[in-house]
Structure formats: C-alpha cells, structure tokens
Amino acid sequence: MFQIVPAGPAGDKARLVADTVLGPDDFRRIAGQVGGERLVRARKTGLVAARKASRRQVVETRWNGTETTNTANRGDWIVTNLTPDAQPLRDAEGQLNVYVVSAERFAGLYEPTGTKKRRLGAVYRATSTVEAILFPGGFDILASWGERQVAASGYLIRNGGSVYGNHAQTFAATYEAVPG
C-alpha cells in the first residue's frame, strides 16, 4: 500500500511513501491521485557503462547520500550512469551513480554502442521510454529488490513492469521528456 503525504516546510510538496513493492497498477493509481500534469514520458539521454557481476556483490546507489542498496548476483549487470558525452556521472560528493539491473532485464533495456570505459565496462544506450511522476517532496518506498529507496526529491518511474524511484537530479542529468 502507498500513501501520498504532505512534505516540505509548508507541507505543500507531495511525498510518496510505500511499504510494499509497487507495480504498474499502483503506478496508474498514483498518477490518478497526483494528477496528469506531473506524469511525463521520458527517455534516457545519458549513456551507461555496464559490466556483468562475476560474483554476488552488494551495490550502493548514491546521489548526495545513499539512495538504496541492491545485491547483484553473478550474471546481473552493474551499471554506471554516464553523461551524454560518456563521462561517469558523479554526485556533489564525487560518488559514482551506480545501480544493478538483473540479467533477465538488461538486454531489453540497453543496446551496445561499441565503445568501452576501462573499469566500468562496455558503453550502452537505453532503448526504451519510461513514464515518470515527479514527487517534489521525494519518496520513501520499498524497491522491487526488497530494499528501501529514499530521496528528498525525485521521480517514480514505470519502466515496463518495473516501478522504482529516481533522484530528481539524477533524472534531470540522464533523462529528457518525449512527446506522447
């Protein structure tokens, strides 16, 4: 179940709180509650570097603090966001923006560009569009991988059957709105 609660000093910013994993039906209900003006279709503009995990590994996703953690199993992909000019995306603390994509989902989300970043892996571009809802007051949700995902301001994203959060600054650096 989810709640949309007031946040911010004046209580005028919507914050999403969910203690259960959200699915596409939840996403539609949330969009209906906050209004269509916050719903956007977007595509990733930045590139990613990705490498397969060779062993089980805990990955911390950071953007000016910890957003979430996830465990990559052998064969899953450890993905680093890159800027449109293929530089690693770093937060104000200098930390890389890294996350996990399951082995089953990766090929449906990204295609190779034919280039490589040494330690970070091969460079890929996203192939799909997403739906996103802005939450100016942020979110505190249970991600599909079973860990909390928290941001002071961010977007709830529906990418196919997956629903997850994305920090507002990361979203602004790696996505652009598309018509339709």
Residue ranges of domains in the chain: 2-42+129-169, 44-126
- Which own/partner contact pairs does 1-6 have at CB distance under 8 Å and 24+ positions apart? 2/26, 2/29, 2/30, 2/141, 4/30, 4/33, 4/34, 5/137, 6/137
Q: What is the pTM of this model?
A: 0.86
- Residue 154's DSSP bridge partners are 135, 167
Give 110-131 pLDDT, tens digit per residue: 999 999 988 999 999 999 899 9
Position 144 confidence tier, pLDDT thresholds 50, 70, 90: confident
Residue whose structure tokens are 């100016």: 136
d(CA 10, CA 120): 42
Question: What number of other Cβ atoms are within 10 A of residue 7's Cβ?
Answer: 21
Work out the average pLDDT over 94-104: 96
Give the burial class of 154: count Cβ atoms within 10 A of its Cβ; 0-12 exposed, 13-18 middle, 19 or more buried.
buried
